[in-house]
Structure 1
Amino acid sequence: MSSEPVSEPSLVRTGAKAGLAFAGSVIKGGLLGLVLGGGAFIFYVSQLQGPGNTAARAGGVGAILALLTSPSLLVAVLLLLFVGVYVALGVAHGRARAMQHLVAARGEAVAQKLGGAIAGRIEAMPRTHGTLQRAADWLSVDALSKQLAPVLGEGKAVRSVVAFVLNRLPMSEMLAEWQESRAAHGEPVAGEGAVAQDPALRALLARRINETLQDLAAPSRKPLYIALGAHAALLGVGLWLVN
C-alpha cells in the first residue's frame, strides 16, 4: 500500500510529459502542413495561369477542361495531399516522442517487469517432443498486457510497447538458446518437471528488452527529410509543366 502514493504521481507526470510531447509534435506537423503544404499548393495554383497554359488563360469551360486533361491538375492534387503527409509525420513523430518520455522515466522498470512476465510464461510453456508449444498464445500482447496491468497500468501506450517488443525480440532464437543452456547444465526444461525461476533468462530478457525500447524511443527525422525532398521535386516538376 505504501508504494502506491509514490508511483501514481510519477505515472501522472510521465503521462503529462508524454502527452505534451505528442501534442507539440502534432502541432508542428500541422503547421508544416499549412505553411509548406498549403503554401506550395497556393503558389503552384497561382502559376497555372502562366505562359505555359494558353488554354487555362482563356478562362471559362475551356480552362477547366484544359486543367482536367493535363498533368498540371494531378500535380496540384498531389501537392495538396502533402498537407496531410506533414500532419501524419507529426503524429508519428509525436508518438515516438511520447514513447521517449515513457522509456526515459520507466524504461528499466518496464524492461524488468516485461522480462519477468515473458520469462515466467516461457518457463511454464508446455513442451512436446522437445519443442515448446503454442508460443504465440502464451506470449500474446493481450495476455502480457493483462498480466502487467497492475504494475504498468492499462492503455494503448502499454499495449504498443508490449507489441513492439514482441515483434522485435528474436523469441525463437532466445527460446532455443535457453533450452540448450539448461540442457547443457543438466537442468529440467519446460514441461519436464518443475522449472525454477532462471535469473539468467530474466537478465537476458531485461537487457534485450531495454535495448529494444531504446530503439522505440529514438524518433527519426529521415521520413521528414524524404517528404521535404519529394515535395520540392514535385513542385519543381509542376513549375516546369506550367512554364
Structure 2
Amino acid sequence: MKQNIYDNPDFFSGYMALREREGGLNAALEEPVVRRLLPTLNGLDVLDLGCGFGKFSGYCLGQGARRYVGVDISEKMIAEARRHYRDERIRFQVSALEDAEFDAEAYDVAVASMCLHYVEDLGRVMDKVAAALRPGGLLVLSVEHPVCTALLAGWHDSAQRPRLHWPVDDYFLEGRRATTWFVDGVIKYHRTLETYLGTALAAGLSIARVLEPQPTAEALAAQPRLAEHLRRPPILVMAFDKQSQESKQPQGR
C-alpha cells in the first residue's frame, strides 16, 4: 500500500505552513544545490517526480523550459499546483511514482526532490525514469541522508547539553521506518548510499555528482539554527547521466 500522507489534513496544513515561510531545509540547503546541478533549461522537456505544490514548475518556465510535467500522489498538492501555476507548457498528474507511466525518451531532465525516501520500490521508479530520459539526459534527485533515515531518532539530548549527538544505528538494515512529522505514522524507507547509487547504475545511468549540502555562510547568518546541520549531513543530492549508446561503446585504437 502506497502511503499518501500529504493528503492527511493535519499533515497538509503543517507542511504548507512550513513551506509558506520557507522555514525548512528545502530553501536553505536543497533547492540551491539541485538547481546548481541542472543544465540550462531553455528549450528542454522536464519531468518532476514528487512535484508537490508545483513550485519547481515556475522555476522551469522562468528558465525557458519547453515543457514541464509534474507527478505527485497527493490530490491536495496537485490541486494547489494547478491553482498557482497555469500555463499551456505545464501538465500536472496525480499518481504514485511507482504507477506513473512516462513516454520513452521524452525528457531531457528529470528531478526527484525529497520524495524517493517515501517510495518502497526504488528500482521500479528508477527504471521508469531512465527509460523516460533521452540519451544525454540528466536525473537530479535529493533524499533525506541515510545517516538520518537509519534510526529516525533525531538528536540525543543530555541533562547538561541539548543536541549532544546524532545517533546512527541499523544503518545496513534497510527498509520501512515509521516516524512522526506533523502527524504520527509517517512511513519512510531507509537505504544505504550504496543502494541509491547501485540502483541508478542498474537502471543504466551513470554517476555524475554526489553531494552532501552544508549551510552557507549567508544561510547561517540568516538562520543561525542551521549550524546544527554542520554536524551531520541532513540531505543527500545525486546527479546521474543517461549516456547515448555511442558513448557506451569502447573507443577503437
TM range (shorter): under 0.3
Instruction: Kindly name which structure, 1 or 2, has the bigger radius of gyration based on alpha carbons.
Output: 1
Q: TM-score if structure 2 supplies the norm length?
A: 0.26
**Could you say which structure has the greater relative contact order, defined with CA pairs below 8 angstroms and 6 or more residues apart?**
1
**TM-score normalized by the length of structure 1:** 0.27
Would you tell me which structure has more strand in proportion to its own residues? 2
